[in-house]
């Protein structure tokens, strides 16, 4: 079983979709897509990824508190949630979270690769019991983004430098 995580940042924000699949061996480390975020493959039972998602869930109230108050220093808020299809689970980043009549909504922030349940730009209800990670940028520093930071740390020095340059963010590590 492996996870696939779509990009760390399409268009300077997002950090991936994850795909769970039953495979006896992990596929290539990443899938490059022209004009779309790279998909990073991670084994589903990867203890570091499991810990990153657990940390995202545990700290989700921090995210909600941060976005609940108007703050012009907070940009790019997003929540990572799963979509299951054909025995696989793809996690996508939902951007621009809003609360309407007590319900949390987000916009599919990148092109799904493995699910056709949603498409980029769709407005969807966010089931917070299923979320795996969250992030926002404040004063050019990535807050949250535990899965993003893990994948970034696993990049080669050259990939990491390119990634850091493309975002302009401080990763606080």
In a domain? residue 170 = no
118 belongs to a structural domain: yes
**117 within a domain of the structure (yes/no):** yes
Alpha helix positions (H), the chain: 47-58, 60-68, 146-154, 157-167
pLDDT value of residue 35: 75
What's the confidence (pLDDT) of residue 2? 36
pLDDT at 77: 96
Which domain does 128 fall in, by range?
2-161
Question: According to the model, what pLDDT value does residue 138 have?
Answer: 95
Instruction: Judge whether 4 and 42 are in contact, CB under 8 Å.
Output: yes
| Among the listed residues 140, 11, 47, 37, the one whose alpha carbon sits nearest the alpha carbon of residue 91 | 37
Residue 166 lies in a domain: no
pLDDT value, residue 94: 96
Residues of the chain with pLDDT under 70: 1-28, 173
Into how many domains does the chain fold?
1
Report if residue 59 sits inside a domain: yes
**What pLDDT is stored for residue 30 in this prediction?**
74
Instruction: Report the pLDDT value the prediction gives residue 18, as an integer from 0 to 100.
Output: 53
Q: Is residue 173 part of a domain?
A: no
What is the pLDDT, as a whole number, of residue 6?
42
| Residue 57 domain-assigned (yes or no) | yes
pLDDT at 61: 97
**pLDDT tens per residue, range 118-138:** 999 999 999 999 999 999 999
Q: Has residue 9 been placed in a domain?
A: yes
Task: Quote the Cα angle for 16-19-20, to 5°.
Answer: 145
């Amino acid at each position: 079983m492996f996870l696939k995580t779509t990009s760390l940042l399409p268009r300077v924000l997002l950090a991936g979709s994850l795909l769970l699949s039953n495979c006896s061996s992990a596929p290539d480390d990443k899938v490059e897509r022209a004009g779309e975020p790279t998909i990073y493959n991670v084994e589903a039972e990867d203890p570091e990824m499991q810990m990153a998602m657990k940390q995202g869930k545990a700290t989700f109230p921090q995210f909600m508190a941060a976005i609940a108050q108007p703050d012009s220093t907070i940009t790019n808020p997003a929540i990572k949630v799963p979509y299951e299809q054909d025995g696989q689970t793809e996690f996508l980043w939902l951007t621009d979270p809003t609360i309407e009549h007590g319900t949390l909504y987000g916009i599919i922030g990148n092109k799904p690769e493995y699910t056709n349940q949603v498409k980029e730009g769709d407005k969807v209800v966010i089931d917070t019991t299923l979320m795996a990670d969250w992030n926002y940028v404040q004063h050019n520093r990535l807050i949250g983004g535990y899965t993003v930071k893990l994948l970034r740390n696993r990049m080669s020095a050259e990939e990491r430098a390119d990634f850091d340059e493309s975002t302009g963010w401080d990763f606080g590590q």
